[in-house]
Copies of this chain bind each other. A is one copy, B any other.
Amino acid sequence: MSTLGTRRQVLAASLASGHVAMAMFEDTEGRRDPSIRYFTGHPGDALLFIAADGRSLLVPWDVNMATVMADIEDKVAYTDFKRSPFAAMTGALERLGIEAGSVIDLPSVTPYPMYVDYVEACPDYDFRCTEDGSTKFASSMRAVKDADELAVYRVVSAITDKAMDEIEAGLRSGRLATETDVALFIERFLREHGCEAAGFDTLAAGPSRSFGIHAFPACTAAAFATDGMSILDFGLSYKGYTSDVTMTFVRGPVAGKRAEMIGLVRQAHREAIAACRPGARSRDVAAIADAIFAAKGYTMPHALGHGVGLEAHEAPAVRNREDNDWVLAPGHVITIEPGLYDPLAGGVRLEDDVLITESGAEVLTHARIVELD
């Protein structure tokens, strides 16, 4: 059986053990879920039904695309269901032979009104929509990267490191001078190196805009890496998996508040990574950075990090919040990205991707805070 088929069997087994007859996954505009790519290879716009007996059905918007990309036995075009998710649900229940009265698991992000419509369309079934259903199970599967996925991460990390080296050289030489220069360099570089896209909108914020956590717009024609602090946050997507790194470029004297912020961010980055190992609670790792900042009167306005994979933000969570009960495990790939922001001094953030190993952690990427001049 293919790797993807095996993944579907693992999900099916979880259904059987939970007395759920069928799970639905949905990947559509407004409700993206790369779990369908994870389970089938189909890259987007589809419904996927997996039954507890291991059979499954893909309902793609684009059946030509599915013929090329999807590794799954049974496919029916969404147009055959008149592009209605409720008609597709009805059809899947019949095609997969799901008995009346069975429990059907819906994606946890199913809007409340759609939940009501599924129940009305298929009144003989018992629909469940919870935070603890198949969406979460698939997310937990995806959080632990297997050998194939780790091989992809070695490649994309190396390409990302090379991009960072070339960007630093381009900024030092003056060949790259604006936010747009840097962002477009990345767009061309990634395709020349076999990546499929940026993992998310490249954020290139020059000194006048770096105080924003996520500057808006993501990049402009303005100067980059001129006097002050400039933030570059980008990721490259290779075979669907994205890297996620942030460099800060500082030009001019590093003193006063700016020096303090840079020092604290470097310290938080170093000490948080040192605490990454199997069995550590990711909340405790995040608390290390918060404590370093709090001791000097600073607050970080975002989480310390997050898992990366087919999504730029996925499990496990890496934040210091009561509802975060994730324990780091081998195969997790997370970002560590402490940052501080000040309307006058500007912003500084340093972000790398970290793989949790059997014995500790391996830093996959090599971002840095670069002092120019």
Contact = CB atoms under 8 A, between A and B. Distances in A.
Interface string A330-373: 00000000000101000000000000000000000000000000
Nearest to A63: B301
Interface stretch (A4-12, A106-114, A153-161, A266-274): A106-114
Q: Does more than half of chain A's interface fall in helix, strand or loop, or is it mixed? A: loop
A301 B216 CA distance: 35
Interface string A68-90: 01000000010100111000000
Nearest to A29: B313
Interface string A175-216: 000001001100110011000110001000000000111101
B30 A109 contact: yes
A159 to B, nearest CB: 14
Contacts of A295: none
Nearest to A194: B221
B214 A62 contact: yes
A43 B109 CA distance: 23
Given A64-B341, A112-B129, A131-B113, A217 B197 contact: yes
Contacts of A218: 197
The complex is assembled from copies of this chain, and their number is 2
Interface size grouping (class) on chain A: 35 or more
A137 interface: no
A64 B212 contact: yes
A27 interface: no
B196 A82 contact: no
Given A82-B321, A192-B221, A62 B201 contact: no
Contacts of A14: none
B44 A191 contact: no
> Which of A63, A79, A112, A299 neighbours the largest number of chain B CB atoms within 10 Å of its CB?
A112
Contacts of A313: 29
A191 B299 CA distance: 33
A102 interface: no
> Which of A64, A299, A321 neighbours the largest number of chain B CB atoms within 10 Å of its CB?
A64
A187 B183 CA distance: 9
A130 to B, nearest CB: 6
Contacts of A69: 216
Nearest to A323: B84
A313 B192 CA distance: 31
Contacts of A77: 301
Nearest to A212: B65
B180 A184 contact: no
Given A62-B214, A196-B217, A197-B217, 5 more contacts: A30-B31, A62-B301, A64-B211, A111-B129, A196-B216
28 contacts: A30-B31, A30-B32, A31-B109, A45-B214, A62-B214, A62-B301, A63-B301, A64-B343, A65-B212, A65-B216, A67-B343, A69-B216, A77-B301, A79-B299, A79-B301, A84-B323, A106-B112, A110-B111, A110-B112, A111-B111, A112-B115, A112-B129, A113-B130, A113-B131, A183-B187, A184-B187, A187-B187, A197-B219
Pairs of residues from A and B, 5 with the lowest C-beta to C-beta distance, nearest first = A196-B217, A112-B129, A191-B221, A112-B115, A43-B216
